Structure 1
Amino acid sequence: MTRRLALLALSSTFLASPLAAQVNTDAGTINPAMVERFFNQPGYSPYAGRNFATQPLWGEIHLHTSWSPDAFAGGTRVGPDEALRYAEGEEITSSTGQPVRLSRPYDFLMVADHSDALGVVASIYEGDATMMADPTLKRWHDEMQKGGAAAGAVVMEMITLQGEGKVPEPMTDPNTQMDIWHKMTEIVESHNDPGKFTALIGYEWTSNYGGGNNLHRNVVYRDGKDKADMVRPMTTFDSDIPNKFWDWMQAYEDKTGGQVLAVPHNGNLSNGLMFATETPDGKPIDAKWAETRARWEPLYEVTQSKGTSEQHPSLAPSDEFADFEIWDKGNLNVVPKEPGMIDYEYAREALKRGLKLQEEFGTNPFKFGLIGSTDDHTGVSSTEENNFWGKFPASEPGPERSTGNAFDFDGRTVKDWKLGASGLTAVWAPENTRASIWDAMKRKEVYGTTGTRITLRFFGGWDFVPDDALGRTPANIGYGKGVPMGGDLMPAPEGASGPNFLVAAMKDPFSGNLDRIQIIKGWLDAEGGMREKIYDVAWSGDREPDADGKLPPVGNTVDVEHATFTNTIGAPELITVWTDPDFDPALKAFYYARVLEIPTPRWTAYDAAYFKDSKFTDDVPMTVNERAYSSPIWYTPAE
């Protein structure tokens, strides 16, 4: 049964542990471990001493500035300092000279410039004598000085040479890299303001193994400058194999006593390598590999400007919402895909395959939470459809981006209009500090969105009942009786009919109403086959599923010509308790929530309305169903 409530305090959680136990006992058994972890002794103030998040923190961990070589070569002049000031809510000037500002400040940001040749391209551009001694770098300098297409060609050549391991030697000097890294951490440290704004230290390790096969990872430090400065960031000049990258992470922690984690990019440009069951150099994976990946990579970037990689429509033909911002033509160099590659590039397939690998190795290497980030190379993190600043300066706002190319390799092109204004990460952290945000990422209590700021709670357990969806404090009930997103269900109690889930969502006040909440289940059947099913569990209006169980569309109020819409359909909040009707206690499974908004104007519609001379063709999408993806909750049968 669907319930729709006015959850004015959806993300609030008020009660302390003994009182919570009294309130919830009649509805089911309290989870003592969760009570002890998140609730304190009672007093009159229900807010004093609480140890859990009452609202999500918003930001991203994948933004490039002029310190990334490809960004600088493409014309980006916004540096780390300006990018962080922008994230804090200041107005800055973009690389094309346009004023830009966020509608709402972020709570955190990580500048994730490429460790390969970090900051070095600026030296090439400026004509540093050491760099100019190399003929390739001298030619790049000359081309970058011309700007436009010539500078763009340098970007493409740089990516190709990196993938082939042939970047000119002056770009790989470790002493130069260490000096620049110290300058980077100094800038980031100057913006970190615990309790108000978190500037995370990090970088991107940019493996393009085999020539454009995107195996990029972002490194997120829990630490400050004192520890981060002790070890030189790893580059693909050291190695472009993920196994070696994990060795670097171990070495960093051993030397500094600090902590790091890594987040793989969306895998849609990896040409089948991101979730392959062998290493990129063709070696079979084993139990150690599975344990190592699971340790270092607790999260996955499910959506960004270069597409969304939750699931491919060809792999889930019954999923009517899978065909969303799909990039599936090739790798980062637009080298075409071969049959079977996409099976190893999408999150849902990897989550299912992880269950299978767990049976083989005893560890699930793909047991990850879901986040979103932009991967913008402009120094401007932009996820709002009416405030979209593109991928590179060439795709910043202007009528020409209606026909421009985001990528062009010898005529193999991807148009600018394929870029998505995505994505954002929401973190359920009790305070806005590096340690608190990092810890939430590590335990996977995070979720990703396509740019909207939907508030989403998702808890799993065995004792939720329908009346739990009537309360004003879903997180209080959720923590008291179950586990949050990113967690593992406790073993099934004797006689349990199935796990149940408390899921609640509230709209972004700047965006569209909510269409529905879905819970997506993946599992291994009795024969070891990978299965999935999508359940509509809460929705707006009086719609009823048809004979095939499909819910009718919510409708569409978008006026494309004027890039407007009305919130006369949909719901501002949705909440329900749902029990898996197909549960088999002998089978491994995972569950995650997907929340969909009603259709709203896409950035292309805003461009068409603003730039009267834009030339979008009829195949360009003008509306978008923004969405949020929770991290999964896993079920493992008791042995």
Structure 2
Amino acid sequence: MKQILRACAALAVSAGLGHASDVPTGDTAADNLPTRPFSPYANRTFPDRPLWGETHLHTGLSLDAGAFGNTLKPDDAWRFAKGEQVTSSTGQPVKLSRPLDWMVLTDHTDLMGFAPDLQAGKPGVLADPKGREWYEGYKAGGEEAGKTAFDLITNFSQGTLPELLLESYSPGADAFSNVWEEIVLSAEAHNDPGRFTAFIGFEWTSVPKGFNLHRNVMLRDGAIRALQVVPPVTQPPSGSTDPKALYAWLEAYQEKTGGRAVAFAHNGNLSNGWMFPLEGTYHGGEVDADYVAARARWEPHYEMTQIKGDGEAHPALSPEDPFADYENWDAGNLDLTELKTPEMLAGEYAREALKNGLVLEEKFGVNPYKFGMGGATDSHTALATAEEDNYFGKSVSVEPSPTRIQHPFVKSDLGEVPGHKLVASGYTAVYATENTRAAIFDAFKRRETYATTGPRIGLRFFGGWDFTNADLLSRTPAVAGYERGVPMGGDMPTRETEAAPSFLLFALRDPIGANLDRMQIVKGWLDADGATHEKVYDVAWSGDRAPDANGMLPEVGNTVDIETASWQNTIGASELSTVWTDPDFDPAERAFYYVRVLEIPTPRWVVYDKLRYGIDLPEEARLIHQERAYSSPIWYTPAE
């Protein structure tokens, strides 16, 4: 009781409270108010909650989605994201458990206008033998439509699209312009500042040799600016697969319209090592000062997890991390025409890219891989579903059905990616001061975002020099975080002490999801010899577990019931928090830190299919996983 009274007294003093006779009165009352008002929410300028959204979604307007059989249009995708019930392309009613707060709709720009004409069997499509072949495959539906879509993708990536189709569906063609106008005007119609933010965007579809170098582009602006331009393509005669071509378009867009734009790199695990080059040449150019400066300027965010795998880490790159083996896709390139080799992995995963960014910063003075973390679905169904029990698949051919798990994502003479490998992931949380295009865009620019594999886990992460456990006593730890440190995505402030940095972390479970297992900090750094290192620290966890003699924390347990596709929150914690100080800090070494939050084990989407359809699952299918959240990093740079 005495401790509580002392704490109350201390809070009263810090809040500037006094005796009744000290309360200001009269005309001068406002001038004499204490610096910090009584209400902890008054005059607050920092964002107080995450806004949940999607940065990568395709409708039937995209060439591959349309070939798969997606007949939904942007209006359907927007209504679904806002929480309305819609009917999928396979005729099934579908609705989100909770609406999203914002979304970027990112239909492919190459061959814009082709998919609707393919579905309609327009004479211009049927006049080409390949166009007729694709039309017949689309009309057959199901597995044949899937084969059609991947044949189209292979021809696209190998540069063998028919010239007749390129001429008819390239910038300058009426079909191309009409679809771009439809995309822009649909976003305008659904943008509702303060309630739901609809961003105008597109996907730039660079895929040389089938190596996925896609970028999603988000405009801060509305129709007046967006309709002054046409989006860039990668196919001839006017396109290029070099990312520098996209950067040039973004520069030209801003100069012409006075608007703002950014690009997000596609999850890199189908790029066969080309997404994050470290040295030498990459497809289309050289890793030089111009490249690193341009990439640092235009790509502040990375799509780290999505339907085609999780891209945080890989066991071969992080062998001491027992949680690095999570939804890895490491078979080959996008259409599986070239298999993966071990040396390619370092150019594909976020953690390795963050480490290599320190190397490039040491060399060029600029870090091109200083990105915020995000998740997306990359669904081609127009349905932004990322929950295991409501998963509608990658494409129309694998929307819910008793046989969808048998359909491989891709199959070639070299092998296949089986259907059960698809991932119900993910979403991006943004800390913005309001739900508007301007505020959310600005949050992306300062990298105040985090990724989840689907659950809406609450996560706060701040770096500073003097955080203490006392900062955890408040239900609003962000007050101390913003006052004396920097949030996720930021750079450590100027060092005013010889002590190591301290970090303030706070996580809350999804209100309708699973309890939390643990919070970890992942650190990467560059030593004096120019070598990179990493270490994963368990910093807060549920229950009374203790690390073993090797510093390893025991597993949290498992309550999953496969037969009923359920689990119990009888283990884990509803929230975790801590203040952590780096025990291995060296002030002379460049470093980054980010948070990984793990849930307790829960069923994967395949288990819900087993329950609802009464099907048998492949023996090799993973049934249970631990979903997670990843904060954007905080960077430390030594003083010069």
Scaled by the length of structure 1, what TM-score is found? 0.92
SS at match of 1:634: strand
1:629 and 2:630 are equivalent in the alignment: yes
- Counterpart among 437, 443, 457 of residue 434 in structure 1: 437
Q: Tell me if the contact between 1:424 and 1:449 (Cα under 8 Å) persists in the aligned partners.
A: yes
CA distance in 2, matches of 1:532, 1:74: 41
1:112-511 aligned at under 5 Å gives the runs 112-168=106-162, 169=166, 170-176=168-174, 177-209=176-208, 211-237=209-235, 238-277=239-278, 278-281=280-283, 283-334=285-336, 335-410=338-413, 412-496=415-499, 498-511=500-513
CA distance in 2, matches of 1:203, 1:507: 32
SS at match of 2:319: coil
Residue identity in the other structure for 1:487: G
Residue identity in the other structure for 1:370: M
1:568-587 aligned at under 5 Å gives the runs 568-587=570-589
Deviations along 1:176-222, one digit per CA (max 9) or x if unpaired, are 3122101111111110000000111100001111x210000000110
- Counterpart among 567, 570, 595 of residue 569 in structure 2: 567
CA distance in 2, matches of 1:42, 1:343: 49
CA distance in 1, matches of 2:619, 2:419: 15
For residue 3 of structure 1, what is the aligned residue in structure 2?
Answer: none
CA distance in 1, matches of 2:621, 2:415: 18
Give the 3 Å change call, closer, same or farther, for CA 139–51 of structure 1 in structure 2: same
1:73 and 2:67 are equivalent in the alignment: yes
Q: Tell me if the contact between 1:156 and 1:409 (Cα under 8 Å) persists in the aligned partners.
A: no
SS at match of 1:340: helix
CA distance in 1, matches of 2:394, 2:498: 53
Give the Å deviation of 1:285: 1.2
CA distance in 2, matches of 1:607, 1:150: 22
Q: Tell me if the contact between 1:115 and 1:206 (Cα under 8 Å) persists in the aligned partners.
A: yes
1:97 and 2:91 are equivalent in the alignment: yes
Q: Tell me if the contact between 1:21 and 1:480 (Cα under 8 Å) persists in the aligned partners.
A: no
Deviations along 1:219-270, one digit per CA (max 9) or x if unpaired, are 0110011101111100112111101111111011010000000000110000
Give the Å deviation of 1:470: 1.9
CA distance in 1, matches of 2:68, 2:414: 19
Give the Å deviation of 1:48: 3.9
CA distance in 1, matches of 2:261, 2:611: 44
Residue identity in the other structure for 1:393: V
CA distance in 1, matches of 2:161, 2:88: 29
Q: Tell me if the contact between 2:242 and 2:284 (Cα under 8 Å) persists in the aligned partners.
A: no
Give the Å deviation of 1:110: 1.4
Give the Å deviation of 1:413: 1.3
Give the 3 Å change call, closer, same or farther, for CA 114–283 of structure 1 in structure 2: closer
1:611 and 2:613 are equivalent in the alignment: yes
Give the 3 Å change call, closer, same or farther, for CA 49–22 of structure 1 in structure 2: closer
Give the Å deviation of 1:41: 6.6
SS at match of 2:409: strand
SS at match of 1:348: helix
Give the Å deviation of 1:91: 0.6
Q: Give 1 or 2 for the bigger CA radius of gyration.
A: 2
Give the Å deviation of 1:288: 1.5
Q: Which moved more, 1:63-72 or 1:276-285?
A: 276-285
Between the two proteins, the alignment pairs up a number of residues equal to 603
SS at match of 1:408: strand
Give the Å deviation of 1:143: 2.5
CA distance in 2, matches of 1:295, 1:352: 18
Give the 3 Å change call, closer, same or farther, for CA 293–64 of structure 1 in structure 2: same
Deviations along 1:150-198, one digit per CA (max 9) or x if unpaired, are 3222211211122122323223253331221011111111100000001
Gaps in structure 2 of 5+ consecutive residues? 1-12, 18-33
Give the Å deviation of 1:126: 0.9
- Counterpart among 83, 96, 100 of residue 106 in structure 1: 100
Give the Å deviation of 1:142: 2.7
Residue identity in the other structure for 1:385: E
For residue 601 of structure 1, what is the aligned residue in structure 2?
Answer: 603
1:546-565 aligned at under 5 Å gives the runs 546-565=548-567
CA distance in 2, matches of 1:536, 1:373: 26
Give the Å deviation of 1:49: 4.1
CA distance in 1, matches of 2:151, 2:216: 23
Q: Tell me if the contact between 2:241 and 2:284 (Cα under 8 Å) persists in the aligned partners.
A: no
Gaps in structure 1 of 5+ consecutive residues? 1-18, 24-39
CA distance in 1, matches of 2:97, 2:281: 43
Q: Tell me if the contact between 1:404 and 1:415 (Cα under 8 Å) persists in the aligned partners.
A: yes
Give the Å deviation of 1:473: 1.3
Give the 3 Å change call, closer, same or farther, for CA 20–326 of structure 1 in structure 2: farther
Residue identity in the other structure for 2:437: R
Give the 3 Å change call, closer, same or farther, for CA 313–455 of structure 1 in structure 2: same
CA distance in 2, matches of 1:524, 1:260: 32
Give the Å deviation of 1:590: 0.2
SS at match of 1:301: strand
For residue 526 of structure 2, what is the aligned residue in structure 1?
Answer: 524
Residue identity in the other structure for 1:352: K
CA distance in 1, matches of 2:413, 2:86: 35
Residue identity in the other structure for 2:247: W
SS at match of 1:324: coil
CA RMSD in angstroms comes to: 1.7
Q: Which moved more, 1:53-62 or 1:122-131?
A: 122-131
Deviations along 1:80-115, one digit per CA (max 9) or x if unpaired, are 111110111111111111111000000011111101
CA distance in 2, matches of 1:160, 1:466: 55
Residue identity in the other structure for 2:403: E
SS at match of 1:268: coil
CA distance in 1, matches of 2:572, 2:509: 10
CA distance in 1, matches of 2:136, 2:601: 46
Q: Tell me if the contact between 1:403 and 1:615 (Cα under 8 Å) persists in the aligned partners.
A: no
Give the Å deviation of 1:43: 4.3
Q: Tell me if the contact between 1:556 and 1:599 (Cα under 8 Å) persists in the aligned partners.
A: yes
Give the Å deviation of 1:580: 0.2
Give the Å deviation of 1:22: 7.7
SS at match of 1:592: strand
Give the Å deviation of 1:615: 2.5
Residue identity in the other structure for 2:299: E
SS at match of 1:269: coil
CA distance in 2, matches of 1:102, 1:561: 24
Q: Structure 1 vs Structure 2: percent identity of aligned residues? A: 53
Deviations along 1:55-87, one digit per CA (max 9) or x if unpaired, are 100011101110111011001112111111011
CA distance in 2, matches of 1:411, 1:638: 51
